[in-house]
Amino acid sequence: MSSELNGGDEESLIEPLNHTSNQQLSRLTNTSSQLALVGVNVCPIESLDYEIIENDFFKQDWRSRGKIQIYQYISMKWALCFLIGLSVSLVGFFNNLAVENVAGQKFVITSNMMLSKRHLSAFLIFTGFNFGLTLFASLFTALVSPAAAGSGIPEVKAYLNGVDAPAIFSLSTLVVKIVGSISAVSASLHIGKAGPMVHTASCIGALLGQGGSTKYGLTWKWLHYFKNDRDRRDLVTCATAAGIAAAFRAPVGGVLFALEEMATWWRSALVWRAFFCTAVVAIMLRGFMDLCYSGKCGLFGTGGLIMYNVTKENFAYHLSDVPAVLLVGLIGGFLGALYNFILEKVLRLYSLINGKGLVYQIVLACSISIFTSCLLFGLPWFAPCQPCPRDAAEACPTIGRSGNYKKFQCAPGHYNDLASLIFNTNDDAIRNLFSLNTDSEFYGISMLIFFVTCFFLSIFSYAIVVPSGLFVPVIVTGASYGRYIGMLIGSNTSLNNGLFAVLGAASFLGGSMRMTVSLCVILLELTNNLLLLPLVMLVLLVSKTVADGFNANIYDIMMKLKGFPYLESHNEPFMSQLTVADVVTGPLEYLHGIEKVGNIVNILRRSGHNGFPVIDVPTQSGMPKLFGLILRSHLIVLLKKKAFSLTPVSAGADVFKQFSSVDFAKGGFDTIDDIEDIQFKDEEMKMFVDLHPFTNASPYTVVETMSLAKAHVLFREVGLRHMLVTPITTDRPAVVGMLTRHDFMPEHILSLNPSLVTRRWKRLRFQFTPFANM
């Protein structure tokens, strides 16, 4: 297994963040370590076993299952999806309730002090409140679960591709993700809670899919059905859909997000369960909103769980409006690519700082908090005041937490439009930007200042050691520049400024995240208006096309920077020029069907591989034959029970009394079995064990002459961890090599075949000169 080398350009050979080297970044290197940056710490990573291990115990287990067990298994799948939806909706509602009330109290206190002209006290309260929340969130994250830092979407996406990292779905990560996200978002850091919500939901799905726990007494037999990576993968996929549904009240958009952006393997049965999961979330959130309508949610009010009604009446747009829409999409694509480019550079810088230890991580987070507070409190002083509109639908100036008319330092009867955007939560700021009939409520200079501030604050606030997302900050930034474009165009179009804000948000999302279908549906569900469909589709298509000409989407950039060995859906063109024999490296460790215990122990101690071919050697003259593949974890289980024999004989039927399929089921996320934890006596090392009943007798094999491109397709589509390579002639060993995820990484292939580097096909992309090579 290997870590991919890449920076902003998916073809550039730049070392990921978990590697340091004195060589120039442009020099080709082959990193074959099994390390990746998870959260803010470098951790070991492994591949997941999505393949069904068809050994004798698996076959016996399936033969023993009756209709009742099969119905239990199917029913449990749907029951777990219901529990995921229920749990995610509760967490999503709690997150919104907490953020709106914690941040709301801060804004109320600050606004009251500004009304009484206690400006310095207001600044100190505002800054101190933000500093305290940021300090708590960063300390809690760094000390309890560093894997919870960031959005978590790159880690979840890599997991669904077959890459496992420690602690990404642990109970501590779940708690830190919830508490840390509430604190960080309430601290006025320009970050979102949608990304952390996806990771939180994935933690819930993964924990429910552990198949029980002996530690907590959950050992019912029917829970053992889910002790495998395949079922956990499906539950995590459904959970990612539920996370988006809870963050945006977008159930259909959540399913499409999981399909378009997150999942590597998808099938029709999974669509049903994911849709059921998001439906549960939508229904539960609707019930919680009814509770808030009765005034029992404190400052949460009736506008929580973001839903932006851009228009409640029919509106018309004409062919003459299309050029303005295309302009928004074009600028959004360029800005999105620039955003990804700058964010990549900042991530590299922050990685160097965070890698120096806990003190540096906390100092960086607190410094960003102080800078953000000073900027947010100081900028409204430079914005002009304007008189309150006579026909305002709400009180002007606004009394309380949210609203379009913040008085700040203005005279009575006037409001500060920039303060109306800054001294609100991101959800309320978006609602103000999307509002109808507000074309005259914001000055152009205020909107430009707000856009530039959001653009850079969202970049510098991300990747500090707190749970943080990008979805909502990108929407805020895009909405502000979209509305600014609407102000510049003015009477040349029939579209109002609120609609331009929606289109700007869509274009910036498309330019940075490069999704189309899922983003389109999420925005339509957010705005509750199907009439926007053609315009949003057009903007997303244009912005994605433009941005693809510069770099990759933000989550792919992050995965490659972190060093996750992600298997892309497309083949590199040079793979068609190679066969699997060109990338197989040795020596290959293998075991015999009946093997001496000492040999097994020695191989496990000197090799870090997780799968070993099992070879049968005929008693008479003849070539050895491949029997199958046995996993490292199964060997350790076998050695732990010490079911050895004094002579090399085949295991009888008694082996099914000593072991069961449950013994070989995968444990929880914190379960790690190590060969060094098992003690052996000298006489035990000389004993024998029959590996045939424990070996997967039907592993995937390819002939050594198969093209690497074909093997890549098979490896990715089936979800393999190991692929055995067999010779084309019978006078050679039964297995000539084994392919793993590492062997399909482009940097590994090019390091073995340097002649392909100069002939390597590169995607035609523009670069942000003169900074492209920084």
pLDDT, one tens digit per residue, over 397-439 is 776 555 667 888 888 888 888 888 888 888 888 888 887 777 7
Question: Mean pLDDT, to the nearest integer, of 748-757?
Answer: 82
Split at pLDDT 50, 70, 90, the class of 20 is: very low
Across the range 62-73, mean pLDDT stands at: 79
Distance CA 691, CA 628 (A): 10
Q: What is the pLDDT of residue 525?
A: 87
The answer on pLDDT for 774 being more than 70 is no
Average pLDDT across the chain, whole number: 84
Give Cα separations from 75 to 66, 82, 212, 213 (angstroms).
14, 11, 16, 20
End-to-end CA distance of the chain: 28
Q: What are phi and psi of 115, to 5 degrees?
A: -65, -35
When pLDDT is cut at 50, 70 and 90, the band that residue 276 belongs to is: very high
pLDDT of 213 over the 70 cut: no
pTM to 2 decimal places: 0.89
Q: Of the segments 65-79, 130-144, 288-302, which one has the largest average pLDDT value?
A: 130-144
Please state, in angstroms and as integers, the Cα–Cα distance from residue 191 to each residue in 171, 186, 250, 360, following that order. Answer: 23, 10, 20, 20
What is each CA distance from 721 to 37, 98, 666, 738, 760, in whole angstroms? 21, 42, 15, 10, 27
CA distance 521 to 331: 22
Q: Is pLDDT at 21 greater than 50 in this prediction?
A: no
Report the alpha-carbon distance of residue 24 to residue 29 in Å, rounded: 10
Residue 352 has pLDDT above 80, yes or no: yes
Judged against a pLDDT cut of 70, whether residue 299 lies above it is answered with: no
Res 270 pLDDT > 50 = yes
Residue 768 confidence (pLDDT)? 58
- The string of pLDDT tens digits covering residues 684-738 is 888 999 998 889 999 999 999 999 999 999 999 988 999 999 998 888 888 999 9
Q: Categorize the per-residue pLDDT at 259 as very low, low, confident or very high, splitting at 50, 70 and 90.
A: very high
Whether the predicted pLDDT of 559 surpasses 80: yes
Q: How confident is the model at residue 545 (pLDDT cuts 50, 70, 90)?
A: very high
Can you give the pLDDT at residue 668? 62
The residue assigned the tokens 């360029």 is 334
Give mean pLDDT, residues 635-653. Answer: 85
Rounded CA-CA distance 82/352 in Å is 42
CA distance 489 to 141: 45
Q: What are the residues facing 317 on neighbouring strands?
A: none
Residues above pLDDT 70, as percent of the chain: 87
Task: Give yes or no for residue 111 having a pLDDT over 70.
Answer: yes
pLDDT at position 211: 66
Q: Could you tell me which of 224, 197, 220, 191 has the C-alpha nearest to residue 209? A: 224
For residues 203 and 169, the answer to whether their CB atoms sit within 8 Å is yes
CA pair distance 441, 392, nearest whole angstrom: 10
